[in-house]
Structure 1
Amino acid sequence: MRLLRAESMRFWARTLIRWAMVAGLVVAGLVVLGSWTTSTPPPDEVQASMQADFDASVKDWEDNGETYVADCLAAEKADAEELGEPLDYECDEMGPPVWADYAYFATFAGEGLSTVQLSLLLVALLTLGVGVTFVSAEHTSGAIGNWLTFEPRRSRVYWSKVVAAVLGVVPVTVVMVGLIAGGSLWAYDHHGALGRFDLDQDLRPYLEMWARSAALALGLAASGAALGSLLRHTAIVIGVVAGWAILVEAVAANVFDAIKPWTLVTSMNAWIQGGTAVYVTECDATDDSGMLCDWVEHPVSQTQGGLILTAVVVALVLVSWLVFRRRDVA
């Protein structure tokens, strides 16, 4: 415990880490401010204009709706006869105007929730960076060698650093996640703009998303500490992470559809959102020896995302530990 307390003090002694925490809190505040601004209803004159346009469209449909449907059916029939094949212009789906098509108001169920989910992912990435800089700085400066002089048991040193990184980000993670998720929900609720988000039915899943986001942040903090120890330089870690993001998450995932459901970005989205979906291309041979391709939705469950992320975190931490036990730190 004394070693862990010492590592925790070293964690908070780093100026860069403290500034990163402050920056994260500022960004969280800006997210809430953005939610407040976005959810604010438009001025009365704008709403009046929307209402006037909607009323005019309703009257036009009442006067000419049957004619519009008849014209659509006639065009469908004429074009089908000309082409010699059946057509469907979806004339039966024509109907009176819908208010939502004329009055655009941002809602929490629409814009707000997606913004919160993206912001929570950024919180997790911040903790990754904090974990990296905490451990890699000691390797870069050579302080880790001096530290091992006083405490030669490498496993204890390594695990104390990983745990200190995780515990160190707990307070700011809780505050940031609570501020972003709670503040944004409050802003939209204050303006009566929750949309289809029902507080009675959807609040519990939303709170569970908070908890999963915090857990992801702590896991990435441990991964950051492991990467910092393994690669020993923050710049190298940034290069490796950026290279992975570009080559695997962006390029390879778009070239090879089969890996889309298994990427880290997809897994993080599935974990935070409680499940997600990716679209892959599936092709079948046609009678003319050609290929007919279509976009197919592939669901990715929260469980799958969580298992993949857990496996990656555990693998990184264990590999880094094994390397640290045997590598020359000089």
Structure 2
Amino acid sequence: MRHVIAAEALRWLRRRGLWATVAVFLLLAVMSGVAMAASAEPPDEATVAQAKVDYASYLADWNENHQEWYQDCLDATPEDENPQAMCAETLAAPVKSDYVPAPLAWADGMRSAAIFAGILGGMLAMLVAASFWGAEFRHGTIATWLTFVPDRTRVWTAKNVVAVLMSAVAALVMSAVVLGVTTIGFVMFQGPASVGDWGPPLGIAARGLGFAALAALIGAAMAVLFRNTVAAAAVPVAYLVLTSMFGAVTYVPGLEFLATLMPETNLMAYLALGTTYWVPALEPGEGMVERHLPFAHGLTYLLVLTGALAVASLIAFQRRDVAE
């Protein structure tokens, strides 16, 4: 088995198309890191000063008139829409932080950078793993390779081991680039003292590597099932189109459970150690209610999805004629 894995690794390294894809994604990682770094720049003094004036002006206006506004709101809101709760929320006292911009905090900026890097790394892993397998079917080399190693299970395992390892390495480099460039931005714009705890972003980055490994298996499985590389890109695109058309169905009372079945919600729960989403309240007029999806749910979802696709691809690879 070790020799088969070594041979597959050598074949991966000789695929120029895979290197080109990695190079493109590394460029995206650099550009993304620069954008994240730019967001660390504090707002200019003129903007802050004007925001303080606007806040003070509205606060004075609110203190003088909010009771009248509240009564007008109650009069204009139907009873079945819970006017007391809605008007109290709409006309709440202004909060200074909502008006006066503050420099981006290290924890928030690095969290966003790490999550983005994890998603980008997963996309890269899915694409290169699918290309690694798809090229075998496109060029017909898989049939030749099986004449040297007839055991299809060994070939399937070796190719996926290499795809997972190489994808994880590429995702690791991408995360390092995004986090490194973002850190440089914080140091440049806010000084070395702005650098805070590395634990949370590195934890997200580590889970991002796990997602890259799973994404590589998903991409490889789709390439085997559909016998081409295009499926790895076409299926996610088709999913995005469908969710943009029918995503609102999760906001229909009684169907809010569908939000827990969305891949993106579970991915966020996995990367961020839990996530929140909004569903309509059961009682009319109560608006939206916040729900929490835990890390364990996201992890289980990703493992079950990946495992099902991997098993299906192994069965297809074992039973189908590779020369079809």
Asked if these proteins are the same fold (TM beyond 0.5), I'd say: yes
CA contact (8 A) 1:132 1:227 kept: yes
TM-score if structure 1 supplies the norm length? 0.81
CA contact (8 A) 1:125 1:220 kept: yes
SS of the aligned residue for 2:277 comes to strand
1:167 aligns with 2:160: no
Distance 1:321 1:35, change over 3 A: same
- What's 1:276 paired with? 275
- What's 1:199 paired with? 196
SS of the aligned residue for 1:183 comes to helix
Could you tell me how far apart the structure 1 residues matched to 2:76 and 2:155 are? 80
- What's 2:297 paired with? 304
Aligned partner letter, 1:199: G
Aligned partner letter, 1:242: V
Report Cα offsets for 1:126-152 as digits up to 9, x if no partner: 110000010011012111001111111
1:1-330 correspondence runs (5 A): 1-42=2-43, 46-48=44-46, 50-51=48-49, 54=52, 58=56, 65=60, 69-74=63-68, 76=70, 94=93, 98=96, 101-103=99-101, 105-110=103-108, 113-192=111-190, 199-200=196-197, 203-247=198-242, 249-256=243-250, 257-284=256-283, 292=285, 294-330=287-323
Aligned partner letter, 2:304: A
Could you tell me how far apart the structure 2 residues matched to 1:301 and 1:139 are? 39
Could you tell me how far apart the structure 2 residues matched to 1:176 and 1:29 are? 8
Could you tell me how far apart the structure 2 residues matched to 1:199 and 1:55 are? 31
Q: Which moved more, 1:133-142 or 1:72-81?
A: 72-81
Report Cα offsets for 1:149-185 as digits up to 9, x if no partner: 1111111111111111111223222111122124323
Distance 1:226 1:193, change over 3 A: farther
CA contact (8 A) 2:110 2:179 kept: no
CA contact (8 A) 1:278 1:299 kept: yes
Q: Percent identity?
A: 23
Q: Which moved more, 1:33-42 or 1:109-118?
A: 109-118
Q: CA deviation at 1:271?
A: 0.9
SS of the aligned residue for 1:41 comes to coil
CA contact (8 A) 2:124 2:167 kept: no
Could you tell me how far apart the structure 1 residues matched to 2:90 and 2:32 are? 43
SS of the aligned residue for 1:280 comes to strand
CA contact (8 A) 1:128 1:224 kept: yes
- What's 1:287 paired with? none
Q: CA deviation at 1:115?
A: 4.6
Structure 1 residue runs without a partner (length 5+): 285-290
Q: CA deviation at 1:239?
A: 2.8
CA contact (8 A) 2:106 2:195 kept: no
SS of the aligned residue for 2:190 comes to coil
CA contact (8 A) 2:269 2:275 kept: yes
Aligned partner letter, 1:255: V
Highest CA radius of gyration, 1 or 2? 1
Distance 1:323 1:108, change over 3 A: same
Report Cα offsets for 1:161-218 as digits up to 9, x if no partner: 11111112232221111221243234224422899x9824xx3222211100111011
For this pair of structures, how many residues does the alignment match? 312
Aligned partner letter, 1:69: N
Q: CA deviation at 1:266?
A: 1.0
CA contact (8 A) 2:114 2:205 kept: no
SS of the aligned residue for 1:39 comes to coil
Q: CA deviation at 1:263?
A: 1.4
CA contact (8 A) 2:134 2:223 kept: yes
SS of the aligned residue for 2:42 comes to coil
Could you tell me how far apart the structure 2 residues matched to 1:300 and 1:91 are? 27
CA contact (8 A) 2:187 2:195 kept: no
CA contact (8 A) 1:4 1:161 kept: yes
Could you tell me how far apart the structure 1 residues matched to 2:72 and 2:222 are? 66
